[in-house]
Amino acid sequence: MKFVHIADMHFDMPFRMLSDRANLGEIRRLDQRKAFKKMIEYIKQEEIPYLFIAGDLYEQDTIRESTIAYINELFGQIPNTQVFIAPGNHDPYLKNSYYATFPWKENVTIFTGKVQKIEKEDCIFYGYGFEDFYVENSKVEEIEIKDKTKLHILITHANLDGSDKTQREYHNLSSKKLKEIGFDYIALGHIHKNNLQESTSMVYPGSTISLGFDELGPHGMVVGDITKEKRKIQFLPLDEKELQEKEMDMTNIKTIEELLEKLDSVQLEQNKLYKIVLTGKRNFEIPIAKLSKQISRTEIIKVKDKTTIGYEVEKIAQEGNTLRGIYAQEILERIKQEPQNQEMLERVLEIGLEVLA
């Protein structure tokens, strides 16, 4: 049985936290469409009979009807492919959701909050979808497999083996119990990093495109071809713009102009988007918001300041009755009294010393 498995597309998410660039959200939303269309083209060419979408296909709060229509139109281009969708915590099957109200193509099956069983000639599919933003008891672990001659496939959005309360609220399942049930393949969503290994039957494909800098590396879809005797599962990238981080040491950079020059000349790979992490000791106040607007490299979409203050503050505080010395003494005393505000007070100290230089 051949299939494609994706999850966590999050269509129409705002991407507010991804970048300091104003138009990056629009660009990444177009990238979502490109990736989805690329997947559909693959399904057409390879004549894949099943597509599993394991939740968070879209963002309930921001999804537009035009985007749903676009998705549905693409489903119509693969009429011989059965599309199974298991809604997740970002796109639950609510009464007023597009899952419930939109006229989906005939080849689309959307699972709800009751375990559904669909029998085919050579396989049996089980699906469960969120009907709210949280799920704690789905009865998925109560599924019983009787006909061992067929393939048994579970499609759901879930967290495996969660230990804390937050994890348990998002459809927490026991991998031990799922293994005991005897599924041949479990198409999962929710975790944005793929865990693909030939030995596991419980597969997270990861988010279809990178949604943030906590999701570095390639993103895409899982393609499978399994029988009772053999299994071939592989990952194929869909996202054309891989996210990467790159560190830059600030210790020997003395001015904002020098920093901009270095950012303009840094070696970057094509078709990748970068977060530059500034490290080392800084010699001047780094205005991140202003800096981001001045960077000419379109590949750099975010700058993170992880530097430490470069001034020898204790030495300055011993200068006696100079303004710099008195100012440094005052701020150091405040830091002792308010250790929780140390980072903010160090910034205040830095700005003041620049003014008094």
- Residue 19 pLDDT: 77
Based on the domain organization, do 184 and 279 belong to the same domain? no
Task: Identify any residues that bridge with 224 across adjacent strands, giving them in sequence order.
Answer: 3, 233
Tell me how far apart the alpha carbons of residues 243 and 273 are, in angstroms, rounded to a whole number: 5
Domain ends where: 237, 259, 276?
237
End-to-end alpha-carbon separation of the chain, Å?
A: 72
Q: Which of 191-195, 214-218, 347-351, 353-357 has the lowest mean pLDDT?
A: 353-357
Alpha-carbon radius of gyration of the chain: 26
Residue scoring higher pLDDT (127 or 310): 127
Q: Greater confidence, 2 or 342?
A: 2
Say if residue 186 is in the same domain as residue 295: no
Share of residues in the chain with pLDDT > 70 (%): 98
pLDDT of residue 150: 94
Which of 185, 215, 237 is a domain's end point? 237
In the sheet that holds 272-279, the strands lie side by side as 242-249, 272-279, 300-305
Residues 34 and 146 in one domain: yes
Same domain, 223 and 261: no
Same domain, 67 and 112: yes
The whole-number pLDDT of residue 198 equals 58
pLDDT score recorded for residue 292: 84
Number of other CB atoms surrounding residue 252 within 10 Å: 10
Does residue 336 share a domain with residue 208? Answer: no
Average pLDDT, the chain: 91
Same-domain pairing of 93 and 203: yes
- Domain CATH for 227: 3.60.21.10
Report the C-alpha gap between 346 and 282 in whole angstroms. Answer: 12
* Domain total in the chain: 2
139 and 54 within one domain: yes
Q: Of 237, 270, 293, which one is at a domain's C-terminal end?
A: 237
- Domain of 310 in residue numbering reads as 242-356
Question: In terms of C-beta density within 10 A (0-12 exposed, 13-18 middle, 19 or more buried), how is residue 155 classed?
Answer: buried
- Residue ranges of alpha helices (H) inside the chain are 24-46, 65-76, 98-101, 165-168, 175-181, 256-265, 288-294, 313-317, 323-337, 342-356
- Please give the pLDDT value at position 238: 97
Question: Are residues 143 and 8 both part of a single domain?
Answer: yes
Residues 6 or more apart in contact with residue 86 via CB below 8 angstroms: 52, 53, 54, 55, 111, 127, 128, 129, 155, 156, 157, 187, 189
Condensed to tens digits (0 to 9), the pLDDT of residues 90-144 reads 999 999 999 999 999 999 999 999 999 999 988 999 999 999 999 988 999 999 9
Q: Which pTM value belongs to this model?
A: 0.86
133, 92 Cβ separation under 8 angstroms: yes
Same structural domain, 154 and 273: no
Q: Residue 134: in which H helix or E strand, if any?
A: none
Instruction: Pick the closest to residue 155 from 83, 93, 92 (CA basis).
Output: 83
The bridge status of strand 123-128 relative to strand 220-226 is: unpaired
Are 184 and 302 part of one and the same domain? Answer: no
Among candidate residues 302, 309, 315, the one with its CA nearest the CA of residue 286: 309
